[in-house]
Structure 1
Amino acid sequence: MNFDVVIIGAGIAGLTCGLTLQEKGVRCAIINNGQAALDFSSGSMDLLSRLPNGSTVDSFAQSYAALAQQSPNHPYVILGKDVVLDKIQQFETLAKSLNLSLVGSSDKNHKRVTALGGLRGTWLSPNSVPTVSLEGKFPHDNIVLLGIEGYHDFQPQLLADNLKQNPQFAHCEITTNFLHIPELDHLRQNSREFRSVNIAQVLEYKLSFNNLVDEIKQAVGNAKAAFLPACFGLDDQSFFESLKQATGIELYELPTLPPSLLGIRQHRQLRHRFEKLGGVMFNGDRALRSEFEGNKVARIFTQLHLENAVTAKYFVLASGGFFSNGLVSEFEEIYEPLFRSDIVKTERFNTTDRFSWISKRFADPQPYQSAGVVINAECQVQKDGNNVENLFAIGAVIGGYNGIELGCGSGVAVTTALKVADNIIAKESSN
């Protein structure tokens, strides 16, 4: 099996890279071993929310110099400011073409409401999620927080108590209520089945739409806006938008405990576009072993293709971090298992010194979270001190930064994905 490009990993990085390549006629295969971190995400995409010294970031461009000084190994710094800004704008255009229904701009972060009633700075958010500008107030002054009876992954009273603490909502009258929705009774009998995905399937296909509309209107009363758990619409926002139109109420949805419907929608839309463009998915498969010829990856072998090698001109490592086994931790070593790529080392972190992996204070950012492979400005992977000619890395498998601490995981994923796609397209055009 031979392709122009083989991508290992089907998260936001792998799919963004793959569909961009397919659009230019580059034949891609993606090895997909199961659920990606995107399925568990909030649906919002972070570019850069904080600096390593803890300072809040309002504007990426204005904070770039400080980031470069404080975190010289960060992928943004390796790529360079102009490249990152270009790829950010490229992704914003791509998101519109994919109808991801995202709002926001790289010019300035905004704040999204979390399911616990906090406000988190971010770059892009689904337009169905309640957001406020950094200085502004929420546009509605009477809000009802609607839970679903028996659904414990969304707690309206906890949300209300915390939301009132934010000055952006200080002017609001906030009340709570619950929807019963009788069609969900069979799910309530088993709490393990009473999750957002299962609820969405029932609501979209097995209930009376008009009855749901009437119940929402009755529960909201005279309020002009309502927040609900993200359980309405599995494939996209169309079902949720239909509810907004039918009720005449400004409805907003909040991501719940994983799996997250908002992330699942984005994953499905990206994958659908990739496959529609002719991309090949190796679903339920895992890359196990690689072989090199000189300074190039020659072939890889997967769990379902142990005898028949998968070959390509280029290989893209988008396997993620520890969550998806893109990185592996054993007692004496942290390593990347497929290519045995070099791992970033810093003054605070050494892959073979277990005592450097964690901070003594539990609440501190943990050094192991910045583990990942070494890349250059072209996102080529380093192995044994040398850059591998046809091997690139994108997303969370790259080292030198802590995406959770800095709030930049999605931004790194899409900027490196688009950078690699452009590199490969340029190489193919010159051949």
Structure 2
Amino acid sequence: MNFDTVIIGGGLAGLVCGIKLQEKGQRCAIINNGQAAIDFSSGSLDLLSRLPDGKNVQNIDRTFAQLVEQAPQHPYSVLGQEVVLAKAREFEQLAQSLNLDLLGTLAQNHYRVTPLGGLRASWLSPNSVPTVLEGEAFAHDRIAILGIEGYHDFQPQMLADNLLQQAPFAHCEVSTGYLNIPELDQLRQAAREFRSVNIAQLLEHKLSFHNLVNEIKEAAKGASAVFLPACFGLDTQVFFTQLREATGLALFELPTLPPSLLGIRQHKQLRYRFEKSGGLMMNGDRALRAELDGNRVVKIYTEIHQDIAISAQHFVLASGSFFSNGLVAEFDRIYEPVFGADILEMADFAADKRLSWTHARFSQPQPYQSAGVIINSHCQVQKSGQFLQNLFAAGNVIGGYNGIELGCGSGVAVVTALWAAEQIGGGDEY
């Protein structure tokens, strides 16, 4: 099997990279070994929420120099400000063309409401999620937070109590309640199946839409805004939008415990675009090893195709971190399993020194969370001290940053994916 580009990893980074390459006329394949981190995400994307010194970021442009000074090994620092901002803008345009229903701009972070009633800085969020800007009050004075009877992954009272502690919601009158939705009774009898995905699947096929609209309106008790768990609309946001229009209320949805419907929707839309443009998804397969000729990758072998080589002109490593086995931790080492790429060492972390992997305090950011492969300013991957000519990396497999601590995981994924694709397939914009 021969392709122009083979991408290892079918998550956010791999799909964004594949979409751009396909639209530039390449023939691409994505080796996808299972669920990606995007299926467990909130649906919001972060570009950069805070600096390593703890300072909150409102505008990445104004704080980029500080990031480079404090974190010179961060992928953004390696790529440079011009590239990062250009690729972030490019993704905003791509998101619009994909109808991902995202709101936000790199000019200013906003704050999205979390399922526990906190506020988290974000770059882009689904337009169905409640958000506020810095220093602004929420637009509605009366909010009803409605859970679903028997569904424990969403706690209205806890959310309400915490929400009222946030300055943008201090002026609000918040009530709580529960929807019964009789169609869900069969799921209530099997608690393990009472999850957001199962609820959404059932409601799309067996729901009395009119009765649900009336139940929401009655439970709202005069509130103009209603917060619901993200359980309505499995493949797209269309079903939720129809609910919003039919109730005449400002309905908002919040992500629940994983798997997350908001992330799953985005994953499906990205995968649909990739396949519609001619890309091949090799699902349920896993890259095992690679053959090199000098500083070029020639072919790889996978779990399903162990005796059939997959060759390409270019390869993209978008396999993620430990969650998806893009990185593997054994007792005495952390390594990248397909190419044996060099792992980035930092001041407080070394891949072959186990005691450097963790911080003494459990609540502190852990050094292993910054583990990943070494790249240069073209996203080329380093192996044995040499950058491979046709192997690029994108997303969480790259080292030098803690995406959770800094609030930049999604941003790194899309920026490096688009930049790697440009190195491979040219530089035309969407």
Tell me the TM-score normalised to structure 2 length: 0.99
Counterpart of 1:307 in 2: which secondary structure?
A: coil
Amino acid at match of 2:28: C
1:414, 1:408 → 2: CA distance? 10
- 1:79 aligned onto 2:98: no
| Alignment-derived partner of residue 344 in structure 2 | 344
- Aligned partner of 1:367: which letter? P
Equivalent-residue separation in structure 2 for 1:153 and 1:400 (angstroms): 34
Give the partner amino acid of 2:385: G
How far is the alpha carbon of 1:203 from its aligned partner?
1.1
Cα drift, residue 213 of structure 1: 0.8
Corresponding residue for 1:302?
A: 302
Question: Once the 2 structures are TM-superposed, how far is the Cα of residue 221 of structure 1 from its aligned partner?
Answer: 2.1
- The residue aligned with 1:367 is 367
Q: Which residue of 2 aligns with 1:388?
A: 388
Which residue does the alignment assign to 2:213?
Answer: 213
List structure 1 runs of 4+ shifted beyond 4 angstroms: none
Q: Distance in 1 between matches of 2:173 and 2:347?
A: 50
**Structure 1 segment 111-260 matched on structure 2, within 5 A:** 111-260=111-260
1:45-64 equivalences under 5 Å are 45-64=45-64
* Counterpart code for 1:5: T
Q: How far apart in 1 are the matches of 2:264 and 2:40? A: 7
The amino acid that maps onto 1:101 is: D
| Residue aligned with 1:35, SS | coil
Distance in structure 1 (CA, Å) of the matches to 2:427 and 2:408: 29
Q: Cα deviations across residues 39-81 of structure 1 (Å, max 9, x unaligned)?
A: 0000000000011011111111111111000000000000000
Amino acid at match of 1:131: T
Specify every segment of 5 or more residues in structure 2 that has no aligned partner in the other structure, as ranges: none
How far the C-alpha of 1:294 sits from its partner, in A, is: 1.3
Structure 1: which amino acid aligns with 2:372? G
Residue type of the alignment partner of 1:151: Y
What corresponds to 2:422 in structure 1? 422
User: Distance in 2 between the 1:185 and 1:93 partners?
Assistant: 42
Counterpart AA for 2:24: K
Deviation at 1:209, TM superposition (A): 0.7
Alignment of 1:399-414 (within 5 A): 399-414=399-414
Equivalent position of 2:330 in the other structure:
330
Residue in structure 2 matched with residue 358 of structure 1 by the alignment: 358
Aligned equivalents of 1:346, 1:151: Cα separation in 2: 43
* Partner SS, residue 239 of structure 2: helix
SS of match in other structure, 1:256: coil
Where does residue 108 of structure 2 map in the other structure? 108
Sequence identity percentage: 66
Mapped to 2, the partners of 1:52 and 1:62 lie a distance apart of 15
Q: How many residues align?
A: 428
Unaligned runs of 5+ in 1: none
In 2, distance between residues paired with 1:207 and 1:416? 42
Shift of 1:426: 2.5
Q: 1:335 corresponds to which letter in structure 2?
A: Y
Paired letter, 1:308: I
Deviation at 1:427, TM superposition (A): 9.4
Partner of residue 312, structure 1: 312
Tell me, in whole angstroms, the C-alpha distance in 2 between the residues paired with 1:134 and 1:194: 36
Distance 1:99 1:83 in 2: 24
Greater shift, 394-403 or 218-227, is seen at 218-227
Q: Which secondary structure state, in structure 1, belongs to the residue aligned with residue 34 of structure 2?
A: coil
Aligned-partner Cα distance in 2 for 1:198–1:347: 45
Q: 1:377 and 1:327 mapped to 2: Cα distance?
A: 21
Shift of 1:204: 1.2
SS of equivalent residue, structure 1 residue 305? coil
For the residues of structure 1 that align with 2:374 and 2:179, how far apart are their CA atoms?
A: 50
Counterpart amino acid of 1:130?
P
